[in-house]
Structures are given as structure tokens and as C-alpha cells.
Structure 1
Amino acid sequence: MTPALETRAVTRDYDVGATFFGKRRVVHALKGIDLTLERGKTLAIVGESGCGKSTLARIIAMIDPPTSGELLIDGEPIDIAKHRVTSDQRRKVQIVFQNPYGSLNPRQKVGDILTEPLLLNTPASAAERRDRAMGMLQKVGLTPAHYNRYPHMFSGGQRQRIAIARALMLNPSLLVLDEPVSALDLSVQAQILNLLADLQDEFGLTYVFVSHDLSVVRYIADEVMVMYFGEVVEHRPRDAIFADPQHDYTKVLFAATPRADVASIRARLEAKAAG
């Protein structure tokens, strides 16, 4: 089966200006990243701030081009650098950002936020766009009554649900989730993780999940990729890497990170809902 995502020797360099002697200084943010991700799986990318994980996420989401290397979605090469990405290719990959307060246009009603991707990318009628938006609100745990409200009228968790709904409006096969729960309270984190798991099952989605929170990673990931200064130092199945990390950096990273028990939080929420 063709992988949902491949990167081959992907690099990303940034020119940060000249030194005192006039020589150009380049930061190598990514140094030859190779990865393969099967359909319907979740890859968590972890590492400290500045390791390159968000840079890689933006390349996968087709926001930024790589300096060199290849990006393939469903086996199809994506030519970001030469601006030859088709609308069909862009529809396959959507991104959900960390901050639900900053990722939604405060001047737009929720209905406009959700229908805009359809308006720009499909021939759907106004009625069809509205119906799909109404249905997607329900899929993410909101109601049609929220359609005509503004983002400031919602809590952080509800805003992230809206952002997830917007990302799903074009029926993508791959979602890039860049720290999607880090700005939320622990109890709300568990709700959003539960929602993402349900949506993945329902729509057969593939996730690239960027996070620094290993408790969240342990809960949601199928595979874990550890990055250190722009390089992949370890990429293994979740259970294997947590049980027996191989690289020295992975060992230090895992040992230094406090772990909240997200699974137990989810269990308490489900018990409360059932009661």
C-alpha cells in the first residue's frame, strides 16, 4: 500500500544574515529528514523547542518549501518550491495550529470560517456549504446553534473544535496537528484527544502530531519520532520507544519530562458522562 506521507532527505536552511566579517550565516533547521507514514496511523514528532519539529510540520502542510529533498503525499511528489502545488494536492493535507485564539478570524462568524474553504476550493452551492458546515459542527461536538456566533464567544476547547472542523471541511486524508492541545487545560486536552481519536476512526485520517508533552504522545501516537537539532535520532513504534529508548538524547528527554496521566483523565470524563 502506498504510504500516506513520505519525506526523502528533506532539508531546510535559513539565512540569518552576515557575520561581522561579511560572511553569510546559515542555520540548518532540518538535516536530511527521511520518514514514511502509513495511512490511518499517527506519527508523533517530539523534541525540545528549536529542534525543527514545527519546521518539518510546515513543510508537510505545504506552507513552507524544503531547501532540498522530496515530499510525497499518497505517493505523489509535491513541488512546493516552484509553486506547482495543485488545489487537489493542498486539499489532501490540512493543519491545526497550537493557538485556537489566534488561528480563527475574530471578525468572521463560525459559519463563514467553516464554509470559506469550500467557497474557495469547490463548486458547492451556498446551501451545500451551509449543510456541510452544520454537519461538521456536530461531528466535533458543537451544535448548529453555534453557526452564527463569533470566536470570542467560545472557550479555548470549543475554539480548537472549530479549528479542527475547519481543517476537515475539504475531506483531507492527512492532518498536521502542531501542538494542538498545549494551550488547553488538562481536562480539555483529554476531550480534544478523545475527539481526534474518534475522528481518525470515522474518517480514516492520518495524523502528524507535533508535541513536547510525552504524556499526550504516549496516549495518541502509533509511532514516535525524536528530533534533536534538526536531525532524527530515533523513530520507532510508541510502545517500543517508551519501554526501551535507545538514543542517549531520547533517554534524557523522556527522563526529564513530567508525565500527566491523560488516560486516567479521559476515563474520569467518560465515567462522568456515563453517569
Structure 2
Amino acid sequence: MSGDAILKVRDLKRDYVIKGGIFTKPRILSAVKGVSFDVERGTTLAVVGESGCGKSTLARILTMIDPATAGTVEIDGQPIDIAKYGVSREMRQKVQIVFQNPYGSLNPRQKIGAVLEEPLLLNTDMPAAERRDAALAMLQKVGLKPEHYGRYPHMFSGGQRQRIAIARSIMLKPKLLVLDEPVSALDLSVQAQILNLLADLQEEFNLTYVFISHDLSVVRYIADKVMVMYFGEAVEYGTRDEVFDNPRHSYTKTLFAATPRADVNSIKARLAKRAA
């Protein structure tokens, strides 16, 4: 595991207590079972697996929404333990998340300008004029226009709303961005556009991504490393080519065999033809 890792996770566990009934005792549900991995600065780790494998629970721990039951998480050299210490303003700026459903994560009563400025309002002392300028600049970086600043979320397409969600997530210039199924609700051509946008932003801001997905064609397109989860365990971990070209675990082989794989090159060619 790399010494230049911005994210270091060791033996991470998350258990939930399921209350019992009149005739049953409480039981423990282990959603994440002793997972360890590193993510190098400026790279993308894709976490894949079927529903219920623990990948979204992992995302909630990494973004400090839920505490871990055991194990350690270190982000940019700082350990996090929200159960003991809560979440500092400094740490909140380092880690942000993009959810699957952008409309559900955007306040329908807020104009887009307010949506983008809110992280700056809550986490910095930036004056109002500077917040507005930063929001307008970020709209441009994600492919939107200045006139979108005063519109409401319902006035945008799904792809545009996801661009807004991505813009909001990087307003604080985080070190780590966790993307939880960010393109699964979009059609194929819009998926490719959003993935290209994420690649451009990663290069410009030196962002590190943890990209959670069940779509193997998307993972093969965007990932540097891949971790396969199965019932809370990391059963496969390696570079994208290692995992895709030579899967070792039986579950990984079964997952790949059962999933149709899109030809990424054909997607790129189709998009280039439309742009021309």
C-alpha cells in the first residue's frame, strides 16, 4: 500500500444492532467486515459489488456521516473518529460526497446560486460578493451558464442537476470526493459526459475519488484501482487491469460473467460524432 495515500483505511468495521421482538433476541448485522485499503492522491478507487454488499455504508463512514464500529480511517494524514471527536470544519472541507439522485440532494426551494454558496457560507468566512463570484466561476467549470445561477433545481435536466451537485461538492476544494452511484440514474450519453467532466475536474483540482458503482463498464472507464465487495468484505483489490483481466476471487468472476460490458471506445466515438 502506498506511502502517498491521501486515504488510509485499516480493518474497518461497521455493525448495526437489529432490535429483537417478543420472541427473538437482538442481533448484530455486520455491514462492513474488516476492510483495509489505500487511495493514492489524485487517483480513483472504484468500489463495486451488488446491492447490500456494504459499499454505501463504507461511503457514509468515509464522509463522516456514520461512525465506524472498529478500525481506523486516516484522511490526508489526520485520523477521523466522529464518535469521539465529531467533525471539525477543517475535516469537513477535506471530504465531500455526490449522491446518486441529484434532485433528492438539492433543496427545491433554493436557487442554484444559494445551493453553491451554502458550503462557503457554513464553512468559511468568505464575504457575500466573493461567494457569488466563486459560485459563478464553478458553474462555468461544470459546463453551465451564468444565467443558471438564479434558477431552481426543477428547471434543469437530470444531467444538469448532477453537474450542479458536483459543483457544490467541490466548492470547498476538498481533497477527497466520494461519489455514490453518481451516473447510474442517467442515460448512456449523459453518463459519458459526466464521467468526462469528473476526469477534467480531477486533473484540474488534483482530486481523489472513491467511486462507488455496480456498473462495470463505468468502473473500467474511470478507475485506477478497483475493490470488489461481497457481504461486507473486500474480496478483490488491485489495479483496474489486474482485476478486470485476471480476477482471482470466484465472486468477482461470477459478477463479471453476469454483467454485460459496454464498449467504452464505441461510446467515445459516438459522442465525438454527435459533437461534430
Normalising by the residue count of structure 1, what TM-score does the alignment of the two structures yield? 0.97
Q: How does 1:102-117 map to 2 (within 5 A)?
A: 102-117=104-119
Residue in 2 that maps onto 1:3: 5
Structure 2, unpaired ranges of 5+: none
- Runs of 5+ in structure 1 lacking a partner? none
Specify the alignment match of 1:171 in structure 2.
173
For residues 192 and 254 of structure 2, what CA distance do their matches in structure 1 show?
26
Amino acid across the alignment from 1:246: R
**Worse-matched range after superposition: 219-228 or 77-86:** 77-86
Secondary structure, aligned partner of 2:198: helix
Question: Aligned partners of 2:54, 2:150: CA distance in 1, in Å?
Answer: 38
CA distance in 1, matches of 2:262, 2:34: 33
1:265, distance to aligned residue in structure 2 (A): 1.6
Quote the Cα distance in structure 2 between the aligned partners of 1:66 and 1:264.
41
- Is the 1:46–1:225 contact (alpha carbons within 8 Å) kept by the matching residues of 2? yes
The count of corresponding residues between Structure 1 and Structure 2 is 274
Distance change in 2, residues 1:163/1:49 (3 Å): same
Trace 1:191-202 onto structure 2 (pairs within 5 A). Answer: 191-202=193-204
229, 233, 258: which one aligns with 2:235: 233
Q: CA deviation at 1:83?
A: 3.8
Encode CA deviations 1:9-38: one digit per residue, 9 max, x unaligned.
Answer: 110011111155442111000111101110
TM-score relative to the length of structure 2: 0.97
Q: Which runs of 4+ in 1 moved over 4 A?
A: none
Equivalent position of 2:98 in the other structure: 96
Cα pair distance change 1:27/1:202, threshold 3 Å: same
Shift of 1:189: 0.3
Structure 1 residue identity aligned to 2:257: A
1:198-222 deviations in whole A, cap 9, x for unaligned?
Answer: 1001110000000000000000000
Residue type matched to 2:243 in 1? I
Identify which range, 12-21 or 176-185, moves more after superposition: 12-21
Q: Which of 243, 259, 262 is equivalent to 1:260? A: 262
Find the counterpart in structure 1 of residue 58 from structure 2.
56
CA contact (8 A) 1:226 1:250 kept: yes
Q: 1:30 to 1:2 in 2, by over 3 A?
A: same
Paired letter, 2:97: I
Asked whether 1:133 is paired with 2:135, we answer yes
Equivalents in 2 of 1:171, 1:225: separation in Å? 26
Instruction: Tell me if the contact between 1:14 and 1:28 (Cα under 8 Å) persists in the aligned partners.
Output: yes
Provide the C-alpha distance between the structure 2 equivalents of 1:261 and 1:159, rounded to a whole number of angstroms: 26
Decide which moves more: 143-152 or 262-271: 262-271
Q: Deviations over 1:141-194 (max 9, x none)?
A: 001110000000000000000000000000001100000000000110000000
Q: CA deviation at 1:264?
A: 2.1
CA distance in 2, matches of 1:3, 1:94: 17
Aligned-CA RMSD value: 1.1
Question: Which secondary structure state, in structure 1, belongs to the residue aligned with residue 29 of structure 2?
Answer: strand
Residue in structure 1 matching 2:205, options 199, 203, 206: 203
On the 8 A contact 1:2/1:75 being kept in 2, the answer is no
- Which residue in the other structure is 1:42 paired with? 44
Q: Which amino acid aligns with 1:157?
A: G
Q: Aligned partners of 2:109, 2:268: CA distance in 1, in Å?
A: 34
Amino acid at match of 1:206: T
SS in 1 for 2:229: strand
2:214 maps to amino acid = H
